Structure formats: structure tokens, C-alpha cells
Structure 1
Amino acid sequence: MDVVIGLEVHVQLNRLKTKLFCSCPLDYHGKEPNTHVCPVCLGLPGAMPVVNKEAVKAAIKVALALNADINPVMRFDRKNYFYPDLPKGFQISQYDMPLAWGGYVTIETENGEKKVTLKRIHMEEDPGKLSYKGSITTARYSLIDYNRSGVPLLEIVTEPVLNSPKEARAFLNNLRIILEYLDVFDGDLEGAMRVDANISIAGGGRVEIKNISSFKGVEKALTYEITRQKNLLRRGRKIERETRHFDEANNITVSLRSKEEEQDYRYFPEPDLVPIHTHEFIEEVKATLPEMPWEKRDRLIAQYGLSMEKAKILVLDPKMADYFERVAEKIDPKVSASWIVDVLRGELNYRDMSFAKGERRLTSDELIELLGYFLKGEITEKGVVEVIRAKLDEGGSVREIIERKGLFSIPKEEIDRLCREAIEKNPKAVEDYRAGKKQAANFLVGYVMKMTRGRADPGETAKRIRELLEEIT
């Protein structure tokens, strides 16, 4: 059965200082509920909205990066519906004159690259937040926090061109990377990106799953919904158009209401705000566009001789790419890339730690210092990994960790002595080696590694063991 998916992605422009239509600060995360509010974002009678010019510029920046066609004139509209977290009884959004039409985001699929085309990009204000004790289906009541009310949002709507939950997640990952490069968005903040997913399969009506808060949740909700709809069709039942909620606790979707049509919202122009001529900002914003991830990827390959695979991973996070370039100024770029991509990134993922947080624990200067010891043969590869882990878990200076853990390499003379000792004390292994069992040398290498607590270089130790064995055979 054919699966058709379209996404509506709500992105907070949370790098700004104030809300979309008032001067309330955006640093409400972790603050007491209903403390970052004013008559405008509470929708009190007589309160008048004023557009945040910086929010308009940030929105145009995103539209340009997504290759969208920006409307010469955009207008705000009232979207009328009743919900407890919407104090005015309407949301200031955009309807027939949005910020931009079209655009695309490129993703990689099993069949190669795919352009996920966009339908539109528009600005709107965020509603408040409903909090439930437990699940939405079991909570006896909900609490409302209006701190989020009025936060500037971009709604990025795709065409229905995605064909699997995996493609949907790939699109969201790539969109997030672009937004982080533009520095208009902090994806680590709660509610920074929320998704409404529309899905239908051949023979059924379109179902919308509302307000999914994580990329993993989107994939799980869509996977569950495909199974649910297929089972209904097999039983000869009709799939009705409806809005459903993803219950993250149970990984299921539950019905909320029948799906609204556009006319249900009774859109009309916002009478308190004038239309905005975007051409006044476009050239100014174009001058601030940064190097985008695909551009940085190609430059890293050309400038540093990196493989496509390494470059692709480095540009997944602008902070990781910048970190690499600082390290590559002092350490061979291919060595730098290998340690950052294969080791540091893996250790951060294991700890569920963002690169930004990891960078604070192990700065680029500290990695340069650590790799300097490694390249001079003063610490082994295993020792480097141990220092990285200690830095992420405990902190401290690089040298202090090396000295405290006794990780500085053993002098060559001591390694030679221990190799001779290994041969002398393990005659059975020597006889096996003489008999053609070459892997017996590994036992002797293991003896030396044990005696040095891993501080000997395994490759050099193995080489010396074999040299000594050849001398006595």
C-alpha cells in the first residue's frame, strides 16, 4: 500500500530576545509559570500587538536558506478557534499572504537524494502550554502556562511527498541542521520544534497527528498509524478524516476530534497589524546568511582532504564543524577528523550529551594538547580514549588526568625488558610459536600490556615480540 506523508513543522525563533507581538522576554524556560506575560500575550481587551522586526528578519533568513519564494507583501490574519491555551480565542497567523511559498530540503534515502518540496512558510504566534498529570487520556485536569504564549513561530509545511516514517525523520534532522546553522533556533530547548504529521494510505482518508515533540516520536507515531490504518482497511472499515494525539507513554495515537477544514477557522485579516513589505529586509538579510552545511561539507573536503563520509558527519552540527577546524589548525586534519568523528562524537552520543555541552567539558585547545601527546608517542590510543572519558565525566586538566591515571607511555627500554620477560616466563607460548602457531605471539603481547596496564603501544609491542621470537627460532 502507498503511504503519503506531509509534515507541518512549528519552529520557535527562540534566539530572539522578545516575543512576536510584545516585549515579554523569551527566556521563560525553567521559570515559574505565567511570569513572562503581559496584556498583549494574555489577550486582554484593548491590548495592541506590535510586530517584532527582528523576528521578521529571522523568518526571511530561514525562507532564503530553504530556497523559498518570498512574498513581496505578507499579512497577518486571525485564525479563530477555541482552546484553553489560546487566551484571545484566536491565533495571529498567516493565511493567503504568508511569508513565502515553495522551497525544498534535500534528504538522502535508500534510493539516493530526494528533494522534499515545501508548500509554504508562514509566521504565527505560539499558544500557551497545557500540562497534564500523567497521560492526556487519563489526567483528571490540565494546567495552563502562558509563558510560551506569543513566542515567534515559523510553520514550515511540506507537500505530501514523504513516503515513510524514516524519510520524515530524515527531513526533520536536515531541517534542524539548517536552522542551527542560521542561528535562529536552539533545538535543545523544550518545545523548540513541534510537528503535526498528516498521513494517508491508498484507500483511506487523511489523518493528522498533532503536536509531536520529538523526531523519534514522529517516526514512532507514523509507524503506529500506518499499522492501525492498514488493519482497519483489511477489516473493510473506512478511515475517517480526524485529528489524533500521539501518546508518548504508550507509543500509540488516540482520537481527539474530527479534522477541521480551513473554513472552520474563519480566517480574516488582523485589523491591528498592517501588511509588511518584505523587500525592505531581503537584501539586508541576504548579507547575513552563513556558510550552509552543504557548502561547508564541500569546502572541508577541498581544503582539508577529508573523505565525503567524514565531512558529512562533521557538518551535522555547526559547533562540531567549527571545533574540527580549530583542532585542524594544529593537528593533522585527517587525524583530527578521525578522533572527533569516531571517538569524541561516539562518547558524547553514549552519554546523550550535545556537542555544545561536550565542547565545554573538552575544549578544542585541550584536544590539541591531548593529541599532541599521542602523536609524540607519550600516550597510547587507549590512553587518549581514557582521558576523553575522564574529561567528559569528571573534568580536570588533561595532564593532571594523564598523571593521576598513570597513562604516560613506558620508555622503549622498559618495553624491551618486559618483552624479554614475557618470552622468558611463557615457554609454552614460545614453543607454540615455533610450531607454527603465530597467534601465540598475541598471548605474549597481552602479558606486556597487562604488566604496563595498557600504557604500552600494542602495535610496537607486537612488533618487538616478533623480532625477539625470530631471533631465538
Structure 2
Amino acid sequence: MTFSAPRVADKKDWIMGETGDWEIIIGLEVHAQVASNSKLFSGSATEYGAEPNSQVSLVDAGMPGMLPVVNEFCVEQAVRTGLGLNAQINLFSRFDRKNYFYVDLPQGYQISQFEFPIVGEGEIEVLPIDADGNTLEPVTVGIERLHLEQDAGKSVHDLSPDETYVDLNRCGVALMEIVSKPDMRSPEEASAYVEKLRGIVRALGTCDGDMEKGNLRADVNVSVRRPGGDLGTRCEIKNVNSMRFIRQAINYEARRHIEIIEAGGTIDQETRLFDSVKGETRTMRSKEDAHDYRYFPDPDLLPLKLEQSFVDGIKASLPEMPDAIKARFMADYGLPEYDARILTVDKASADFYEAVAKGRDAKIASNWVMGELFGSLNKAGLDLADSPVSADMLGGLIDRIADNTISGKIAKDVFERMVASEGDADTIIETQGLKQVTDMGAIEAMVDDAITANPGQAAAAKENPKLLGFFVGQVMKASQGKANPQAVNEILRKKLGL
């Protein structure tokens, strides 16, 4: 990663040390697994969770004489991602060998792209969110490059106390390494950047963005400096796989640098790992530079030479991007920025919301999707794809509120029953006898009973209008929550002379 001429952060982003203010310099290398049924240079499957070493070809295993053949679909996916990042697509690119030894790298080198990547410079705008949920000023983060490379296998250390097992299923899987410029100045900016990237690749269909499976992970580069001063020595934190861990790792690493420097020490350039249990980083190895990898063009692979028509065809097929969807939600549905941002974090959420909002009050639909639905899914640890309540079901529930079949309060009980798979709104309302009482005569009778039973409060109501709430509660209790609240309020105000 090139650390040159980064922007200066606002003072609010500086960290106070024992000897004054410090500025954090952050750059990220995000590894996104290409959504493809086969690997970058072989026809082996890429299915997650398969039996160890069951998806390994002779090419993946590094057998002598085996020649790699580039997967054209993976190239197309990289170009599509580059276009989504507003980046330069390089019509000429080249694969290189990056030489290093790991037991889970059977070739003894990784096929990557060094001097000539498939995607050049681009940029995206991110909206950081502080700890209180407030939106901060937007930040433009530069993209330095995107290059294609193959993943390594997996070493398993916890199956035996004195042996390491190797699973090569992941070996050769296509990765897009998206390298940012060092434009981020806070943990919040860094996590917002990764969140934005994930939304983009999901919308494009080029990566599923599942961080728990390791399909999207970040190498976090951190250094500190005096505001406006010379750049410090950076350390790289490998394979951080959640937004929360990214923020924690940056906070810890920046403060570690500051403490060492203020104590008179120096920072060693190294690669570190983040321990999510202890919330701290630890040394993994000294950081290699490019010359340590002895890059050279892969002699088994010709350079990639793309036609502009190929790129133009991909560009014409791009779906609506998250920023465009957000702007449309604000313009067409009149949603506030917060709602539009939350609902367009990924395409699945946006599609679900649009299905719910179709022909209905857009803000009410937003409240139900973001509130009850997302809240219940988070509580249950479920993804939207696994929601027991479909968009049609949630829309049907909102319809029953709109036509006064049920009140908003009863609707929440109906929703809980829908989550418990008791049926759709109409079925639950019918079987549970939850229809709202809208008969004005019946409601008036309950109001009269409440006033008769509480003459003192009724007499005092004119002087203390807050007692209206007491009578509303009495009527709703008598009706088991089924009386139309608006009708109850209107009749009570008339009867009490308010």
C-alpha cells in the first residue's frame, strides 16, 4: 500500500496522548471472494462447507506440469466491481507470481497481479456513524487499485496438540483485493468504508460479502503522526472479519503506537493479528516489502487484453447502485436520510422495503421494516433471507392497520405471532378474535361506563386534561385493547367537555 500525501483529519478525529494530539492514518486492503462457481485457474468447485480436500484439482494442489487457465467469469466480475467503484478499468493487465512459503500454499507461490492490475484508481464516498448513531461528515476514500489473485488453503491447528492439518478446498479460489488510499482518519470511517464496499459488491453480485465465512475480510494498515507531520511507521493487522473488530483493532493499535513513541521507543513495521477475545493485537511476523516476494510475470499465463466493447457491455448491464437507490428512496418515497441509508445497506433490504411500501404509506412501511422486522431478526440472529415474515405478509399487516381492522398496538402482537409462524395477519386476526371495535355505539357505552365508575376524575378532567389518558386506559382495558383509539379519544373529549 502506498502511503503518500494523505488528507489531514479534522481536529475532532485526533487522539490525545500524554504529550499532545496525534492523528491516525488508516488504509485498508479488503479481500473479497469472487462470486463464482469455480476457481480462478481451475474448474474446481467453490462451495462453502464442503468436506476437507474434496474440491481440489491437480492445478490447485500444485502438481508438476499442471497449467492454470484463467476463469473468464472471474475477470468479468472484477471489471464489474471496478465499474461499481467508479474506477479506471485497465484494458491491459498481467498475472505475476508472488513467492512465499506456507504449508497451505502447495505451489510455493501465489498467482496475483503486481505491476499491472486489472482495475486502477477510483473513489467512493462514505458516511461515518459515531457511537451514538449520529451521521458524521461524508468522506471520500480513494481506491488505489483492485487486482485479482488466488486464495491460499487453510491450516487447521486445533484438531491435534502436535500436528497441523491442511485443507486445500479454498486454495485457488478467486479473490479481488481492493486497496484503498490512506484517506481514513478514524475507526468509524474505516468501518463505514468496509460497510459501503460490502453493499456495492452485494448489489453487483460479485461477492456475497459474508464476513463470518471469511468471504470478505480486511487487512488494516495503521500508523500515527503529529497532525500535519511526517508519516509514521505502519503496521498491518491481518484478516479482520467484522466491522466491530475493525474499530476495536484500530483503536488498540493506534494507542499502542502512541504509547511506544511517547515512551521514546520506535515502531517496528510488522504484520499483526487481532485477538477479538482480548481486544488487542499481537505480533505475527515482520512486514515484508514487495522485493521480499520476488514478483515476476507468471510464465504460464498470457497478459489479459480486454476489448473496450467488453467493458462497455458490462457497464451497460450494471444494476442500480446503493447510492442511487438511497437518493431515489429519499426523492420518490420522501424518506429521511437515516431511513434511506439503513434500508439501502444492501440490495436485499432495499428490495424487501420496496415490496412492503408498494401502494402503502412509505414512512409507515419504513418504520415497520426497520423497527419490528429488523429488530426481531437481530434478536433471533437471522438474516433477512431467513425471515419468517415475508414482504407480502408485512404489507398485509400494515393494510389491516390502515383499514382500521386492528390498532397499531394490536398489530405488534399480531406481528409477534407472525414471527412465531402462526400464519399471516388475516389468519391471526380472525383466529384470535383481534378485530378492532369500531362500532361507535359500543365505544360510547364503554366511555359512559368509565365516566360513571370514576366521577371524581371526570369532574376534575376540565382542570386537569391529563386525566384524559386515564379514561382512555380504562376504555381500552374494558375493550381488551380492541376499541379504536381515535374514536375513544373523540368521544371522551366530547363527554368530558375537553
**Alpha-carbon deviation of 1:407?**
2.5
CA deviations 1:341-362 (Å, max 9, x no partner) are: 344333333434322222xx22
- Do structure 1's residue 42 and structure 2's residue 33 form an aligned pair? no
Q: Conserved in 1, the CA contact under 8 Å of 2:32 and 2:209? A: no
What residue number does 1:115 align with? 140
TM-score by length of 1: 0.92
**Alpha-carbon deviation of 1:132?**
4.2
Q: 2:352 pairs with 323, 335, 351, which one? A: 323
After TM superposition, the structure 1 = structure 2 runs for residues 303-382 of structure 1, keeping only pairs within 5 Å, are: 303-358=332-387, 361-382=388-409
- Do structure 1's residue 103 and structure 2's residue 122 form an aligned pair? yes
State the superposition RMSD in angstroms: 2.2
Task: Give 5+ residue unaligned stretches, structure 2.
Answer: 1-21, 129-134, 227-231
Which whole-Å CA distance do the structure 1 matches of 2:55 and 2:417 have between them?
A: 40
Q: Conserved in 1, the CA contact under 8 Å of 2:438 and 2:484? A: no
SS state at 2:497 partner: helix
After TM superposition, the structure 1 = structure 2 runs for residues 411-422 of structure 1, keeping only pairs within 5 Å, are: 411-412=438-439, 413-422=441-450
What residue number does 2:413 align with? 386
Q: Conserved in 1, the CA contact under 8 Å of 2:87 and 2:119? A: yes
Count of aligned residue pairs for this structure pair: 463
Which whole-Å CA distance do the structure 2 matches of 1:76 and 1:301 have between them?
A: 43
- Do structure 1's residue 213 and structure 2's residue 241 form an aligned pair? yes
What residue number does 1:5 align with? 26
After TM superposition, the structure 1 = structure 2 runs for residues 245-256 of structure 1, keeping only pairs within 5 Å, are: 245-256=273-284
What residue number does 1:182 align with? 204
After TM superposition, the structure 1 = structure 2 runs for residues 432-471 of structure 1, keeping only pairs within 5 Å, are: 432-434=460-462, 436-470=463-497
What residue number does 2:85 align with? 66
SS state at 1:147 partner: coil
What residue number does 2:132 align with? none
Q: Conserved in 2, the CA contact under 8 Å of 1:207 and 1:244? A: yes
Q: Conserved in 2, the CA contact under 8 Å of 1:33 and 1:146? A: yes
Which whole-Å CA distance do the structure 1 matches of 2:251 and 2:417 have between them?
A: 39
Which whole-Å CA distance do the structure 2 matches of 1:130 and 1:396 have between them?
A: 46
TM-score by length of 2: 0.87
What residue number does 1:197 align with? 220
Task: Give 5+ residue unaligned stretches, structure 1.
Answer: none
Q: Conserved in 2, the CA contact under 8 Å of 1:13 and 1:185? A: yes
Change (3 A) 1:353 1:55: same
- Do structure 1's residue 170 and structure 2's residue 192 form an aligned pair? yes
SS state at 2:335 partner: coil
**Alpha-carbon deviation of 1:320?**
2.1
Change (3 A) 1:111 1:326: closer
Q: 2:74 pairs with 49, 55, 62, which one? A: 55
Relative to structure 2, which stretch is displaced further, 43-52 or 452-461? 452-461
Change (3 A) 1:468 1:63: same
**What is the aligned-residue identity percentage?**
38
Change (3 A) 1:456 1:132: farther
Change (3 A) 1:143 1:404: farther
Which whole-Å CA distance do the structure 2 matches of 1:324 and 1:245 have between them?
A: 39
**Alpha-carbon deviation of 1:378?**
0.3
SS state at 1:112 partner: coil
After TM superposition, the structure 1 = structure 2 runs for residues 267-278 of structure 1, keeping only pairs within 5 Å, are: 267-278=295-306
Which whole-Å CA distance do the structure 2 matches of 1:365 and 1:409 have between them?
A: 22
Which whole-Å CA distance do the structure 2 matches of 1:464 and 1:240 have between them?
A: 76
Q: 1:20 pairs with 40, 60, 64, which one? A: 40
Q: Conserved in 2, the CA contact under 8 Å of 1:330 and 1:368? A: no
After TM superposition, the structure 1 = structure 2 runs for residues 250-289 of structure 1, keeping only pairs within 5 Å, are: 250-279=278-307, 281-289=310-318
What residue number does 1:243 align with? 271
